[in-house]
Structure 1
Amino acid sequence: MNPISGFPPIATERARVLILGSMPGLASLNAGEYYAHPRNQFWPIVCRLLGIDALLPYESRLNALNDNGIAVWDVIKDCSRSGSLDSGIVKQTIVPNDFVIFFQRHPSIRSVFFNGATAENLFRKFYLTTTLKVCDDIRNYRRLPSTSPANAALSLERKLEIWKLILN
């Protein structure tokens, strides 16, 4: 099992919303793009919410996120994993991203949305319980249904309804 590294954040200083995944899957790592798996519903959902064409080039979609104050990153910086599923992550190998520095550089972020349970659980383990006085935190945290193709429990339309929260 080879170690893998995630991507840098997609964020501007104007970001007010952060969407956190766990670690890019193999399709994303191979493409060098967030949420590159063709069946991942992240881009179809976000593009519908922002009113943009999901077939736009990747850079144009990133610009739309930035224009709308939405940042994207992952909880994990480095780890070992077999396959693409979160269940394949070797927990002992996880190196989390540095959210202390990230939030210092992006003080306008007031809402953090987790793209699934693994992202939320890891963030809470590595960040909220170790480096933050929860009473001093002014951000809102909310788990959204995972956009992964492995999460087929909800329809695209139902996920879209829930993901509208990122626009508030």
Structure 2
Amino acid sequence: MVHSFPPVIRADARVLVLGSMPGTASLEKHQYYGHPRNHFWPIMYGLFGQTPDADYEKRLAFAQERGVALWDVIGSCEREGSLDANIRNAKPNDLTGLYARYPGIECLAFNGNKAFDTFKKHFEGHPIWNGLQLLKLPSSSPIPNNRMRTTADRIAAWSVLLPYLKK
């Protein structure tokens, strides 16, 4: 059984980026998007024309200063390795409870299909989400696909977050 991390969130959060479940490298480092080839941090910084800081705490501060919070849709699951396709018996995190505590969130940004599909399975139709923007974004995973091959491709796709972010 693997477990997600606690949310990284401040009272002034505007965007909640939701992954599925941290991969093995992230779990070992106890870091969101801790795999060295994951595109998440280059995307976040790239939205502002910057290069990611090497220090994890500074990366978290960078995201939070721009109104970005981080969590996962799945709180615990069974999974061999890091692939979302291997997730079994997923139990969701309390997203409705988190949003109730942080009502300034304007947008839920799903990092990939598994995060979005799991959210729909467990939370779709709940009235708490009325008025919130729900954005399914391409995964920041280092695994390329037909449309998303590079960090630049992902930055372009994730730029839909810019209206919600603090400059």
Cα gap change, 1:119 to 1:138, in 2 (>3 Å) = same
Per the TM alignment, residue 47 of structure 1 is displaced from its structure 2 partner at its CA by 1.2
Cα-to-partner distance string for 1:45-89 (whole Å, 9 max, x where unaligned): 111113443133100110111111111110000110011000011
Structure 1 residue matching 2:47: 3-state secondary structure = helix
Which of 152, 155, 160 is equivalent to 1:157? 152
Q: Which residue of 2 is the match for residue 48 of structure 1?
A: 46
CA RMSD of aligned residues (A): 1.4
TM-score w.r.t. structure 1 length?
0.91
Structure 1 gap segments, 5+ residues each: none
Number of residue pairs matched? 161
Structure 2 residue matching 1:150: 3-state secondary structure = coil
Which of 64, 72, 80 is equivalent to 1:82? 80
Q: Distance in 1 between matches of 2:127 and 2:61?
A: 33
TM-score w.r.t. structure 2 length?
0.91
Structure 1 residue matching 2:42: 3-state secondary structure = helix
Cα-to-partner distance string for 1:112-154 (whole Å, 9 max, x where unaligned): 111111100001111124xx127x6110101111110123331
The sequence identity of aligned pairs, in percent, is 40
Q: Distance in 2 between matches of 1:59 and 1:166?
A: 22
Q: Which residue of 1 is the match for residue 107 of structure 2?
A: 111
Mapping for residues 127-142 of structure 1, pairs under 5 Å: 127-129=123-125, 132-133=126-127, 137-142=130-135
Q: Distance in 2 between matches of 1:167 and 1:128?
A: 25
Structure 2 gap segments, 5+ residues each: none
Q: Distance in 1 between matches of 2:62 and 2:53?
A: 13
